[in-house]
Amino acid sequence: MKLDPARRKKAEAYALQILSLVDPSGINAEAAKKAFARMTDEQFNRLREGLPIYNPVGSKVKIDHMRNVELCRVLGLNLEQRLWLTEPKTGVFHRTRYPHLVLRLPARRQTQMQEKKMAVAKNDKVRDKLSGQVVGPSKASGVSFPEAYIMYSDGHDWTLKEFLWARGGNEALQRAFYQSLRQTGKGRIDLPGAERTSSKATRTWSAYLKAMHIGNNIGHPS
């Protein structure tokens, strides 16, 4: 595609002006100026898709995103738009209440896909005899100590109670919890009498200590 030399010259000047505003150091503008001199009309025309800007870590290029937002406002470029979306369940076509940022971003396919790494338990019937926790095909995931500590520091106390207490080998409470889910569609772990239940792992630990002639009340809340 052959471009008019005068129009191309104006386009190059406009592109260099934009680069100078975005990057006050002038590094990007100087690099673009050299690149324009080597480009054919066809290569230059491809810049309609976007003008590359380089910002290496530790370089003299200083790009400030707030300054770029202000530049777009001065140039009359609207970065935010109200979108028309289709509700997937109802099929209703509606417009968003607030404007949203619309821009192009590079998307790269990940090496590991979610559907290949997703673990789903087949059932909850296979359990360890000492801890009462699910194992083998019944186990989908677990909570490590660092993960539990992070949840505790974030204030997710009831989440920890559900994972480590109600669903962590406490057969009596888990049966009541699942029964409530099946019958009412809702579940809760603070059921009446739940405070008198315990996980099998703590009762096993208590049995080990008693076998060592160490009295304890672990796993036997009053």
Q: Which of 21, 38, 63 is the last residue of a domain?
A: 63
Residues 57 and 127 in one domain: no
Q: Return the SS3 of 2.
A: coil
Domain boundary among 16, 38, 63: 63
Q: Are residues 59 and 126 in the same domain?
A: no
- Residue 42 in contact with residue 1, Cβ under 8 Å? yes
Q: Which domain holds residue 139?
A: 122-211
Taking the C-alpha atoms of residue 196 and residue 177, their distance in angstroms, rounded to an integer, is: 15
What is the chain's length? Answer: 222
Kindly give the confidence (pLDDT) of every residue in the chain, 222 residues in length, as a single tens digit, with 9 standing for 90 and above: 688 889 989 999 989 988 888 888 889 999 999 999 898 888 888 888 888 888 888 888 888 888 888 888 888 888 889 999 998 888 899 999 999 988 878 777 767 666 666 677 777 778 888 887 777 777 777 788 888 888 888 888 888 888 888 777 788 888 888 888 888 888 788 878 777 788 888 888 889 999 999 998 887 765
Of 86, 87, 69, residue with least CA distance to 78: 69
CB neighbours of residue 201 within 10 Å:
19
129 located within any domain:
yes
**d(C-alpha 201, C-alpha 131), whole Å:** 4
- Give a yes or no: residue 58 inside a domain: yes
pTM: 0.42
Query: Last residue of a domain, which of 63, 78, 111?
Result: 63
For residue 217, being part of any structural domain is answered with no
Q: Examine residue 11 and state whether it is found in any structural domain, yes or no.
A: yes
Q: What CA–CA distance (Å, rounded) separates 175 from 177?
A: 5
